[in-house]
Copies of this chain bind each other. A is one copy, B any other.
Amino acid sequence: MTRYIAMVALIVAGLVMIAATPATENDFALVGATVIDGTGAKPIKNGVILIRDGRIAAVGASGSVVVPAGIRTVDSAGKYVIPGLMDANVHLFLDAEPENVLKYEGHYEDLIIEAAQIALKNGVTTVFDTWGPRAALVNARNQINSGAAVGSRIYLAGNIIGFTGPLSSDFFPDAQKVFSENVVNRIDKYWEQGVGGELLWMTPDEVRAKVRAYIENGNLDFIKYGSSGHVNEQFIAFSLETQRAIVEEAHRAGITAQAHSTSVESLKMEIEAGVDIMQHCDVTGPEPIPAATLKVIIDRKLPCSAMVVTNKQLDWTKSHNFRPGYSDESKTRDLNDRNLIKMGATLLLTTDAGLFGPDSASSPLLGPYLKDVPDLPTRLQDADYLWLQAVSERGLSPMDALQAATRNIAVAYGKAKEIGTLEPGKRADLVVLNADPLEDPRNYRNIQLVVKDGIAIDRDKLPIKRYLSE
């Protein structure tokens, strides 16, 4: 039992304790709240959720669930309980600008844990990190899983297969004018982990071998590859045959595969290659997703990570051509989002979010973006709230939105046995809200309590240590 968990006992202290034979000190029952269980079922008024050994032991209407003696009960009348939120696409070390990768070299896990704590504080009990420094992510994940650190549950992919590191031309080419080649190579290799840009030169078989080795040694939860380029968004990174080889290797290892795509053809190719999740499937440059591709997405119920933004943000991008083509691309993305929602696509909440340090507002790369864009969709502090508001503005039903933020993600990532809904046997990850989120998406911000693995989180203490967040 770590100090973090000890710390949270303070919150739970207010709960009425009921004696019962085998009850452990952490078992408890939430009593009286409206339970929205994430399965799509109608909300249970005056519900009870029994939590034992960190898992949900029972859930149902009051009267249908027996709370054993000795189990503490928490009166939650007037509250709303939802599954812990998830984000299908975060980067816990997002602000990997030259100054940060250098300054924090050797202890990136501290920044990653800080970000996982910011997420958890905001009700996001599970995050899927789809790009970052593998070794540090694994370290942070393991610290959190072992209880050595508190934070959102992390599943991670490490590098995006085929991408070069943060000081390379894929991210920050000017870094090479300033840093020594030694430093550039050392940092970039730390991110690339043997599956960097050099794979683009290779044959499908060679790429397959590299990916296999990466999976075998990487301690990964899933993989992600570039179907298109990062800076070179309109270019295709891997041939269809190579993409198929990558996906096969993931499936062979029993994990899911997803791709980064930024154009209509790279999107189509990843679908043909058989990816499990399409990251930012709505990002297709100036060209909308063609009807035929939309049809496949709908027919096959392919999980679609869509970067939906609020009207406020969208209006700004329409009138501010941040870089050449930006406004047009924003309009196209919005059109894609509307089509996907109208046709009933299987959406996943996805934000690309992370933390930005105080210096970044004056950085040459990120500064203008961070200072000027309203409803910034990639700031971890409120990225998920904004996404839920944005899909509401686009007409997604409140229940579909909730599932996009919980169950759909668990299913898409193959984690539905463990998380995603409030059902017996699953991990007790949940959020208690003071107001009904199905009534108004802004109510997701109105959090009373966050519980992860059956433990109430002391949100006021998070993050424990601040590096980037203010």
Contact = CB atoms under 8 A, between A and B. Distances in A.
A235 interface: yes
A429 to B, nearest CB: 36
Contacts of A358: 182
- The A interface, classified by DSSP as helix, strand, loop or mixed, is helix
A322 interface: no
Contacts of A229: 232, 235
Contacts of A242: 265
Interface residues of A, number: 55
Interface of A: 97-99, 102-103, 105, 172, 174-183, 197-198, 200-204, 206, 229, 232, 234-242, 263-266, 268-269, 284-287, 290, 358-364, 367
Given A103-B103, A180-B362, A241-B265, 6 more contacts: A177-B178, A179-B363, A181-B362, A182-B361, A183-B359, A202-B287
A203 B293 CA distance: 11
B367 A235 contact: no
A201 B105 contact: no
21 contacts: A97-B180, A98-B178, A99-B178, A177-B178, A177-B364, A178-B364, A179-B363, A179-B364, A180-B359, A180-B362, A182-B359, A198-B286, A201-B234, A201-B264, A229-B235, A236-B236, A236-B238, A238-B265, A239-B240, A239-B266, A240-B240
B178 A367 contact: no
A242 B232 CA distance: 18
Contacts of A204: 265
Contacts of A290: 203
Given A98-B179, A180-B359, A364-B178, A200 B105 contact: no
Contacts of A265: 203-204, 238-239, 241-242
A367 B180 CA distance: 8
A360 B180 contact: yes
Contact of A201 (B172, B177, B285, B361): B285
A415 B269 CA distance: 37
A173 to B, nearest CB: 10
Nearest to A177: B174
Nearest to A181: B362
Closest 10 CB pairs of A and B: A235-B235, A181-B362, A180-B363, A200-B234, A236-B236, A182-B359, A180-B359, A239-B265, A180-B362, A174-B177
Contact of A287 (B182, B203, B361, B363): B203
